[in-house]
Each structure stands twice: as C-alpha cells, then as structure tokens.
Amino acid sequence: MSVQEYLDKHMLSRKIEDAVNAAVRAKTPDPVLFISNHMRKAVQAMITKIKARQILDSRGIPTVEVDLYTNKGMFRASVPSGNPNGMYEASELRDGDKGVYLGNSVTKAIKNINEKISEALIGMDPTLQNQIDQAMIDLDKTEKKLETQFNEDCIYPFKVIKKIKYVHQVPLYKHIADLSGKTIPMLPVPAFTVISGGKHAGNNLAIQEIMILPTGASRFEEALRMGSETYQHLKAVITEKYGAYGCNVGEDGGFAPNVSRQVEALDLVKEAISRTDYNEKIKIAIDIAATNFCIGTRYDLDFKSPQKSGQNFKSAEDMIELYKELCNEYPIISIEDPFDKEDWEHIKYFSSLELCQVVGGDLLMSNAKRIERAITESACNALLLKVNQVGTVTEVIEVVKQAKEAHWGMVTSHRCGETVDSFIADLAVGLASGQIKGGAPCRGERLEKYNQLLRIEEELGEDAVYAGEDIRQ
C-alpha cells in the first residue's frame, strides 16, 4: 500500500487539515504538539502486533500474559487460573510435559496466540469487542472451547477491551457499562476472605472460605477500611487462641488456623467483628464448596482430617439443618455451593427457604445452559461470575443479562491462581454486579482489584454509587 493509499483509506489527509485548522483556532504556543495529540485521537485504532508470553500466577503455576500493540500504544493483560471443574467451563490448555513445571506449562497456548489468533486479529479495531470476540470464537469450532487448542488461556487475555480508555476515550468500566447496556456504574460490596479452608488451605476445615461483607459502609473506601481493620483484629484473635502459627494464610490470603468445625471458625470472625466499631455493618458469607467433600450422597466434614473418625458424615438433610443453625446464630447473608454441583434437588429446596442469598459457583460454572436450568428450576438466586470460565467478554455480558433478568444477585469473582491484572474490578463496576469476591485484604494480586476500585470511586467523585445493603439489586 502506498503512502497516498494509506492516507486515503484512513481519511488522514482530511484529518491532518482539520488538526491544523484546530491548532490555528486554539492559538496554541506549541502547534506541533497540539496537531500530534489531535491526530492521535482522530486516527482509528488498529491492532498492529500481538505478543504472548508465559508468566506465573499467584500459586507459582504458569499462565498467559499478552501484550497488545495498537497505533495508540501497547496494552497488557494476563489471565488467572482456577481449579477446572470439567465439562461445563472453558478448558485450560496445558502442555502436559511432567518434566517442565510438572506438566503445567502453557507454551502450546502461547504458540496459538502468537501465530493463529494474532493472524486473525491484526488490523482489527480493538474497540469493536463483539467482532474481536467473534473472530476468536470462529477459530474455536467446539462448543464452549472443550478439548481444544483455543481455550481460556488463549481467549481470555485477549480482552483487548482492557485499557480501552486510551483508545476509546472513556474509562474501561464505562465502556463495559456501554457494552452491557447498563448506564449507571456501581461500586460493589467486597466479600473479603478472612478464613480459608477446603482445598485452599492446609488446615482441617472442610468449608472453603469465610468472608465478611461491609454492607453498612457508605462508600467503597470505607468498606475497604472496615475489611482491613477487621482482618487485623482477626489476626490478633487467632494469635491469642492458637499462637502465631495460626495466622498462616491460604491461597486467597485468608487465615488458616487449624480448626475443623465451622462454628469454631465463625466464632473467631464474630469476635473480630465485635472488636471493631462496625458490628451490624459487617455481614458474613461462606463458600461451602460442598462438591469437594461429597462422597456419593453424603458429605464428609472430616475429609481433610488425618484422624478420621468416620462419624462426621452428613446427609443433605443434615447439611440443611446445619445451615439453618448457622444462619440463626451468625449474621450470614450468603452461602455459596451448599451442596454437590449435581445435587439440584436439595439446593432447590434450600433456596426455597429464603434464609440467605444462595450463590451458584460450581453449580453453574458461569455456563449459560446451567444458568438457564437454574433459573427455570429456581435452584439458586445469585451467580458467581468467573470470566475465564466463559471465555470472552461478549459471552460474559450475555450470561450476566440472564442473571439480571431473573432478578438474581451477582458476584464477580477472582480465581485461586491470580495475577496482578485488575480487570475484574472494572468489570464489576461496569456490570453493576453489586458484589465482588477478590480474596483477603492482603497479598498484592488480591489488593490490586480493591485498589483499582478505590481509583474508580475517586474518578467517579460525587457520581460514585456504592451497592451497600442492596447487594442483590
């Protein structure tokens, strides 16, 4: 393409003339700089280069980072990783060579990005999210990216939507709001992990995590302060009772004292809250992750204990009674995955009791068909949204619309293997999810999400709205 053809294609001759005229009207003392800035805004954005590399997530396991180059600059994104649940979510492509990173390398995914996906996307406008996502979906011919080379490790980091502020001249959260049709961004209530258990920690606690939600805060900044202070009080409570070794932390940054009973852990959190001035302003949520200790039709609450007595097996009916007792005794407003991911019967019954918000995590896996079934059968009333379970931003917006139309709550969630990418903070605000699950108020990869929410609230100023007690609106 000749220089003149390039100028004609992008209408640059006319744009250059407009820039010069604008500089004259502005009577700027530095016309060259003025024209340069004017042209940078006027020229259509275009992807010029894509470079993927292998990095490590917060667990020290390989994942993917991508540099996206446009004629406006270079932008970087990285993908987190969780514990894959199989056939209902986007798969992870691992190399499988046990001699390198124990089989967890992602060099095959890197190669696919640098060659096949790169070839498909170069020359496209990065602001056209639907077209970008469709181009990648077209490369992946299998439903939900199963057993394929184009999986979450390829597609998710291609959220070229990231840093759209510098291309599209609007903040990322605002761009997401525009894409989703949600015109009013909202700061979510953070669900801070304070005690870790299950597969996320080395103690004997069967349930996966206990979280605190500062629903009584007036702003996100206040909510973060409340969460941080309560977390520090909890550290003191645990130290007094179990010694300093009890303050070791799990994968998400929650403390992991060697407790085995749910009430023992909840009593610690309740005591920590009582040492603050917040009390009724802080509520509790628990992630049971019951699939991890379901054996047949029974639940083994001693599944991590080296001295199993065999006496702590619970039926689904027993678990329902347990949840009733916990909700009566503690300020619990949300329970995630109270039963096995295929136990639709009992989760439907439990949801009908309306004791608290019932969140579908493993039950739904952010899968549109599973969500549709759950809505039809009234199986739960909140969606745990994990972006890399879905694959693309466009598909994420569609499943969120499903949940919103059913008047569900929504929890935008991190993964156990995180990076310092803060994308889900903007996503939670733009989609007005009302809740964000980002881990403990410690560890850099968790705090980056919360710190980004601080920046967004500051940028919104008087227009900032905090979900507060309306977490499910």
**Helix, strand, or coil (residue 241):** helix
Instruction: Specify the DSSP class assigned to residue 115.
Output: I
* Interacting residues of 267 by C-beta distance below 8 A, sequence separation 6+: none
In terms of DSSP bridges, do strands 294-295 and 298-300 run parallel, antiparallel, or are they unpaired?
Answer: antiparallel
Q: Does the annotation count 308 as an active-site position?
A: no
The DSSP element (H or E) to which 196 belongs, if any, is strand 189-196
Tokens representing 3 are: 């220089």
Query: Which entry of 57, 252, 337, 340 is annotated as an active-site residue?
Result: 252
336 known member of a binding site: yes
**Helix, strand, or coil (residue 363):** coil
N-to-C CA span, the chain: 53
Please name which of 428, 438, 364 lies closest in space to residue 402, comparing C-alpha atoms.
364
Q: Beta strands of 197-351 (E only): which ranges?
A: 209-213, 283-287, 294-295, 298-300, 313-315, 332-336
Please name which of 136, 122, 130, 102 lies closest in space to residue 51, comparing C-alpha atoms.
122
Tokens representing 120 are: 């498909």
The answer to whether 348 and 325 are in contact (CB under 8 A) is no
* Residue with the two structure tokens 């005690």: 195
Please state, in angstroms and rounded to a whole number, the distance separating the CA atoms of residues 71 and 396. Answer: 27
Query: CB atoms < 10 A from the CB of 288, how many?
Result: 26
Please state, in angstroms and rounded to a whole number, the distance separating the CA atoms of residues 176 and 108. Answer: 30
267 known member of a binding site: no
The answer to whether 113 and 64 are in contact (CB under 8 A) is yes
Query: CB atoms < 10 A from the CB of 14, how many?
Result: 12
The DSSP element (H or E) to which 77 belongs, if any, is strand 73-78
Please state, in angstroms and rounded to a whole number, the distance separating the CA atoms of residues 150 and 453. Answer: 31
Q: Which residues pair with 358 in a beta bridge?
A: 335
Side by side, the strands of the sheet bearing 298-300 are 294-295, 298-300, 313-315
* Residue with the two structure tokens 């079934």: 373
Q: Does the annotation count 386 as an active-site position?
A: yes
Please state, in angstroms and rounded to a whole number, the distance separating the CA atoms of residues 261 and 372. Answer: 35
Query: Which entry of 386, 404, 437, 449 is annotated as an active-site residue?
Result: 386
- Determine the longest span between alpha carbons in the chain, in angstroms: 85
**Helix, strand, or coil (residue 183):** coil
Active site residues: 252, 386
Q: Which residues are annotated as a binding site for Mg(2+)?
A: 287, 336
User: Annotated binding residues, as ranges?
Assistant: 287, 336
